[in-house]
């Protein structure tokens, strides 16, 4: 008779943009599932990251940053993706940046206070604190923002204190057998991951040169022998943006394609033939029907 308790549950990772939510999930999983960059609102979709250990399966839900505004359909989509998940999880990790508390953090707190779910405060980027004696006062200050079940300082980038965080998480999960096969690490398809890898390279390569009005769409994803053939469109909203993405003599697009292909080959463990095109679709990020066609339709 097996008298060892099995646990399994859903854990939402929420917070304002650019506090390290995706970095935290990737570090816990030991594998890159969510794309990252220094740009705000890099994450646009809910992404499951599944960690299976003996008698324990934790299903992390990485979410877009909750932000103020909501002026475009894209903004509204990301806020819905972040907030609707709260009703279906067993625990929330509210990630904050120890160096800065903003109106957007206050907005997240107001949203969390409406929910009947345990909320753990995860204070990230403690490694960046210049004066270590500030740590305890900062923790005390942030702990008073609402009633948290636990408060824990971490560095997601360096992996500091993540073992302690995972031990705490396990206490809040219900008794249950696993919901996913042990070898599965995400709910997203290889096609989706390929699209996100391209978008990450765009965000990182272009930095300040291009606004967020770009997305990627996979038009072909097929396997022949040991080679993956992937064809993707990079959608932008204006001709001037198209020129920036392509670059002089096509150099920018070539660099993006090269680095995306390298990451894909590591992820998929196969050779990849990648073709990229840049096309203009004016106003796509404020058009819900166009967004659905481009894959922004995964909110229940």
Q: What is the pTM of this model?
A: 0.86
- The answer to whether 179 and 15 have CB atoms below 8 angstroms apart is no
Average model confidence (pLDDT) across the chain = 88
Residue 276 within any structural domain of the chain? yes
Decide which of 297 and 93 is more confident.
93
Q: Do 200 and 150 belong together in one domain?
A: no
pLDDT tens digits for 237-261?
Answer: 999 999 999 999 999 999 999 999 9
Average pLDDT of span 277-291: 87
Task: Examine the domain organization and report whether 127 and 210 are in the same domain.
Answer: no
pLDDT at res. 1: 37
Residue 269: both structure tokens together:
């463990």
Same domain for 26 and 167, yes or no, is yes
pLDDT tens digits, one per residue of 107-143: 999 999 999 999 999 999 999 888 888 899 999 999 9
The domain of 279 spans 190-293
Q: Is residue 231 located within the same domain as residue 134?
A: no
Cα distances from 118 to residues 85, 112, 115, 187, 292, in angstroms, run 14, 9, 9, 24, 32
DSSP track, 266-293? HHHTSEEEEEEEEEE-TTGGG-HHHHHH
C-alpha distances in Å from residue 200, one per residue of 38, 107, 212, 245: 10, 27, 12, 13
225 lies in a domain? yes
Q: 126 and 196, same structural domain?
A: no
Q: At what angle do helices 190-206 and 251-268 cross, to 10 degrees?
A: 140
Residues 129 and 268 in one domain: no
- Rounded alpha-carbon distances, angstroms, from residue 276 to 10, 27, 213, 260, 261: 36, 30, 17, 10, 11
Q: Is there a contact between 198 and 214 (Cβ–Cβ < 8 Å)?
A: no
> Same structural domain for residues 67 and 100?
yes
CATH code, domain with 71: 3.40.50.300
Helix/strand/coil percent split, the chain, to 5:
40, 25, 35
CA distances to 197, 208, 209 from 215, rounded to whole Å, are 11, 16, 15
Say if CB 197 and CB 260 are below 8 A apart.
Answer: yes
Contact by Cβ (8 Å): 172, 139: no
Say if residues 161 and 152 touch (Cβ distance below 8 Å).
yes
Residue 1 lies in a domain: no
């Amino acid at each position: 008779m097996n008298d060892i308790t099995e646990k399994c549950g859903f854990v939402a990772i929420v917070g304002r943009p650019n506090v390290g939510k995706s970095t935290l999930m990737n570090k816990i999983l030991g594998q890159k599932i969510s794309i990252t960059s220094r740009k705000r609102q890099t994450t646009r979709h809910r992404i499951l990251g599944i960690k299976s250990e003996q008698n324990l399966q934790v299903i992390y839900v990485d979410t877009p940053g909750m932000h103020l505004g909501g002026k475009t359909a894209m903004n509204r989509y990301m806020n819905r993706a972040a907030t609707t998940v709260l009703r279906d999880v067993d625990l929330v990790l509210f990630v904050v940046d120890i160096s800065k508390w903003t109106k957007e953090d206050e907005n997240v707190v107001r949203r969390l206070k409406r929910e009947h779910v345990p909320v753990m405060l995860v204070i990230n980027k403690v490694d960046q604190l210049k004066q270590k004696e500030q740590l305890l006062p900062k923790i005390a200050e942030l702990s008073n923002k609402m009633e948290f079940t636990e408060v824990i300082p971490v560095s997601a980038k360096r992996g500091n204190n993540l073992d302690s965080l995972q031990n705490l998480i396990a206490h809040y999960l219900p008794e249950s057998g696993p919901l996913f096969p042990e070898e599965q690490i995400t709910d997203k398809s290889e096609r989706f991951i390929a699209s996100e890898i391209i978008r990450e390279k765009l965000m990182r390569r272009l930095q300040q040169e291009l606004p967020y009005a770009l997305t990627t769409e996979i038009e072909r994803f097929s396997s022949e022998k040991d080679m993956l053939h992937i064809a993707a469109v990079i959608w932008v909203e204006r001709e001037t943006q198209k020129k920036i993405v392509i670059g002089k003599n096509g150099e920018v697009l070539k660099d993006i394609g090269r680095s995306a292909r390298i990451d894909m080959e590591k992820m998929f463990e196969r050779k990849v033939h990648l073709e990229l095109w840049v096309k203009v679709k004016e106003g796509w990020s404020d058009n819900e029907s166009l967004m659905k066609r481009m894959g922004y339709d995964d909110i229940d």
